[in-house]
Every structure is written in C-alpha cells, then in structure tokens.
C-alpha cells in the first residue's frame, strides 16, 4: 500500500453577488490593484520522496451554485514576488490571468466535474471531486534529518462552465487535496 497525505483549506468569498462569467476567478478578496496571495495547502511529504497529486475536491455552501471549476496550481503564494517575479493574479470575480511570466511557478491545472447537490433537498452542500492520477508530481527538498516536510501547493479557481454561476454574499468554499508517494 502506498502512503498518502491529505490537506484541507476553507475560505469565504467577498460580500458581493455579481454573477460570475466564464473565465472569472473565485477568490477570498476583490483586490484589483495589489497582489492577491493564492490559497495554499500544506501536504506533509517524506524528505526527497516525490508524491503525485491523487485527488482534489471542492465543496460550497450555496446549493444552487452549479459551476464547473478549473484548478490552477502554483509553487509560490504570490506569483509577482521575487525570486520568480511573475505577474500578480488579481481577486474574486475578475478574469483569470495566465502569463508567460508565471510559467516558472506554475505546477499545472485540471478541471473538476460540475458542482452538484450531493444530498436531499434542503441540505446546504454542493460538491465536486476528482480522485485519479492528476499527473502533477510534487518533490519536497531533501534534508538530512529524515523527517517529513510540508510542501505547499498554492491554488486558484476559475469558472469554466455551469448552469448557475451567481455567487452568494460571503459564500464559503472548502478544498481537500490528497497525494500519494510514487
């Protein structure tokens, strides 16, 4: 059996209810003028042992938010910061930006299936998950102590489709990721 590690994150989007359009970002801030740090997950990995990202799930508390979401992954929390000096990625409900300057810190991307109601009417959960080989390898730095390290993976969500993509004010998003030793 292969060893696994998991991490979770939760954020609340801003208090606006402007409808998303295809290509917009879901984020915890609406900042358009400054760098918006990406959300991060810390996966505990063995020193020097590569891991493969094996699963990702997204849930939200608005049951009629039935978007299809693309997950963009990066190796740094601030794509504009040195030493990588890419382009800042701006906040919620604005167009997703992908630039040449960010290629060095980009780990990859993948699409989740459309968010869907998982339980009986009246529950406040919509959910999407993808548990398969996501073809993204994470390699922690080697250390001499032989202890596990946390490798941070930073993410951003982009709306790529859906039948209902109007958010709620203060809507909450919950993320879970899993990785396996190779």
**pLDDT tens digits for range 56-99:** 999 988 888 889 999 999 887 766 654 555 566 667 888 887 77
pLDDT at 57: 92
Amino acid 22: pLDDT: 94
The confidence score (pLDDT) of residue 110 equals: 93
- Which has the closest alpha carbon to 98: 110, 107, 89, 85? 89
Residue 46: which residues within 8 A CB-CB, separation 6 or more?
3, 140, 148, 149, 181
- pLDDT score of 69: 94
Contact by Cβ (8 Å): 19, 168: no
Q: Please name the residues in contact with 100: beta carbons below 8 A apart, sequence gap of 6 or more.
A: none
CA dist 148 and 46 (Å) reads 4
Check residue 176 and give its pLDDT: 92
Q: What is the pLDDT of residue 35?
A: 45
Residue-level pLDDT at 147: 59
Residue ranges for the chain with pLDDT beneath 70: 1-2, 30-37, 45-48, 78-90, 118-124, 140-149
The predicted structure's pLDDT at residue 58? 92
User: What is the reported pTM?
Assistant: 0.85
29: number of Cβ within 10 Å? 14
Question: Residue 68 belongs to what H/E stretch?
Answer: strand 67-74
Give the model's pLDDT for residue 75: 83
């Amino acid at each position: 059996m292969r060893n696994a590690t998991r991490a979770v994150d939760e954020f609340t989007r801003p208090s606006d209810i402007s409808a998303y359009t295809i290509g917009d970002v879901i984020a915890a801030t609406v900042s358009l003028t400054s760098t918006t740090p990406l959300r991060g997950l810390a996966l505990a990995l063995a020193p020097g042992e590569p891991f493969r990202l094996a699963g990702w799930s997204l849930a939200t508390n608005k049951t009629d938010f039935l978007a299809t979401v693309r997950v963009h992954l990066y190796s740094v929390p601030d794509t504009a910061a040195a030493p990588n000096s890419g382009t800042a990625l701006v906040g919620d409900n604005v167009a997703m930006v992908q630039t040449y300057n960010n290629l060095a810190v980009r780990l990859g991307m993948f699409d989740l299936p459309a968010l869907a109601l998982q339980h009986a009417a009246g529950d406040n959960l919509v959910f999407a998950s993808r548990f398969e080989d996501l073809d993204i390898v994470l390699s922690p730095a080697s250390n001499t102590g032989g202890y596990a390290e946390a490798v941070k993976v930073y993410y951003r969500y982009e709306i790529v489709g859906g039948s209902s993509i109007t958010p709620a004010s203060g809507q909450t998003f919950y993320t879970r990721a899993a990785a396996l030793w190779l």
